[in-house]
């Protein structure tokens, strides 16, 4: 588990690991980045209370660096990746190992079961788990068991991770997709099963959500540029939407100028693009927000465009090879 400035969630995440009903030996390796919010003290307390918890220093602080530190230090042949925002059901490790043995896969994973506690978080969770939010991947919306392009988190054979050279530490987000790509390229099997579902706690504020989505889109754009033949069309929908809405707004403003000058305001047709997108958002709220409560439905009207726009803008910048400069200035 890579951890950085996450005192709010890490205790529950670690406790869910320690509560696993897996019959074999278990160790919890926390790769701790330089934190300033009390996470250091909290993690030290967890290690003092249970000998199965080991704290490893992650000076770089990034997720892939922390994962690699943990994998290298691991003593057992199965590596279970855990996020500090996630909580594992008690049978998670047991089922995952059963699936590894049954399928012969290098990596097994399941569903990111996003669950919020406030109306805003519930709106984010709703966006995560619908096709209109994050694209409809099986690990977001569910599906049938079988070979997959990638899965959420992942339970790996350690020997397979070593075979492909661990996680690429130059990729700050989306490193799981890139690693699974290498596993498949070297003959390995990545297996999705709906039997595994991990509770995930969404970001709690609009600003945090926007930063998360921008960073995710930025690195997704970088990956699309690096591996142009390995990307599904769903990755390009948000950036196309952002470009379309932007151009439509600019054209519509040009139409207002035409109107003011007495010319034929044909450029006003550009406003049709953002209007269509707004109608799409409202329709999505009516379809998916029904029965969710008025506050959650209202937040969904804000959350969905936030995800699309932040992700789409990030993707465009990443695709234009600006990832390194932006990451260096934002730490993301």
Beta strand extents in the chain (DSSP E only): 2-3, 28-32, 53-57, 78-80, 86-87, 107-114, 146-147, 152-157, 190-200
pLDDT of 330 reads 54
Under the banding of pLDDT at 50, 70 and 90, the label for residue 84 is confident
Residue 77 φ/ψ, nearest 5 degrees: -80, -10
Given a contact cutoff of 8 angstroms between Cβ atoms, the answer to whether 72 and 56 are in contact is no
Model pLDDT, residue 76: 96
The first and second tokens of residue 126, run together, are 């709703």
Percentage of the residues of the chain whose pLDDT score is greater than 70: 95
Query: pLDDT grade, residue 308 (50/70/90)?
Result: very high
Which two structure tokens, joined as six digits, stand for 288?
């998916």
Q: Residue 316 has which token pair?
A: 């465009």
Residue 108: name the closest of 99, 117, 118 by CA. Answer: 99
User: Residues near 158 by Cβ (< 8 Å), separated by ≥ 6?
Assistant: 71, 74, 76, 77, 78, 79
Residue 228 pLDDT: 83
* pLDDT beyond 70 at 285: yes
Domain architecture of the chain: domains with CATH = 2-204 (3.90.550.10), 233-330 (no CATH)
Judge contact between 179 and 168, C-beta under 8 A.
yes
Q: What is the pLDDT of residues 286-300, one digit of tens each?
A: 999 888 999 999 999
Determine the 3-state secondary structure of 85 from DSSP.
Answer: coil
Task: Provide the token pair at 290.
Answer: 């029904």
Residue 305 contacts residue 279 (beta carbons within 8 Å):
no
Q: What is the mean pLDDT of the chain?
A: 90
Each residue's pLDDT tens digit, 27-49: 999 999 988 888 889 889 999 99
So what's the pLDDT on residue 284? 93
């Amino acid at each position: 588990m890579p951890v950085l400035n996450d005192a709010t969630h890490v205790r529950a995440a670690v406790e869910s690991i320690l509560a696993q009903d897996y019959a074999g030996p278990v160790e919890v390796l926390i790769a701790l980045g330089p934190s300033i919010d009390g996470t250091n003290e909290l993690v030290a307390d967890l290690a003092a209370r249970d000998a199965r918890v080991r704290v490893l220093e992650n000076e770089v602080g990034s997720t892939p660096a922390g994962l690699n530190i943990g994998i290298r230090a691991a003593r057992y042949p199965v590596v279970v990746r855990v996020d500090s925002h996630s909580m594992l059901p008690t049978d998670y490790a047991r089922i995952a190992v059963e699936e590894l043995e049954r399928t012969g896969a290098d990596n097994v994973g399941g569903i990111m079961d996003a669950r919020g506690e406030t109306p805003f978080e519930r709106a984010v969770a709703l966006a995560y788990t619908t096709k209109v939010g994050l694209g409809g991947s099986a690990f977001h919306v569910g599906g049938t068991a079988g070979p997959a392009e990638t899965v959420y988190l992942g339970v790996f054979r350690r020997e397979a991770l070593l075979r492909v050279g661990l996680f690429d530490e130059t990729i700050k987000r989306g490193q799981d997709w890139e690693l699974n790509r290498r596993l498949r390229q070297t003959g390995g099997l990545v297996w999705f099963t709906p039997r595994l579902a991990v509770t995930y706690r969404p970001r709690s504020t609009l600003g945090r959500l926007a930063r998360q989505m921008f960073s995710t889109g930025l690195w997704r754009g970088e990956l699309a540029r690096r591996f142009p033949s390995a990307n599904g069309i769903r990755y390009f929908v948000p950036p196309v939407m952002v470009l379309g809405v932007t151009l439509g707004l600019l054209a519509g403003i040009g139409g207002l100028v035409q109107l003011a000058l007495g010319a034929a305001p044909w450029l006003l047709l550009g406003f049709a693009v953002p209007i269509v997108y707004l109608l799409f958002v409202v329709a999505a709220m009516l379809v998916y927000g029904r029965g969710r409560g008025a506050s959650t439905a209202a937040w969904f009207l804000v959350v969905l465009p936030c995800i699309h726009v932040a992700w789409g803008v990030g993707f465009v910048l990443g695709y234009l090879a600006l990832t390194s400069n932006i990451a260096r200035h934002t730490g993301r």
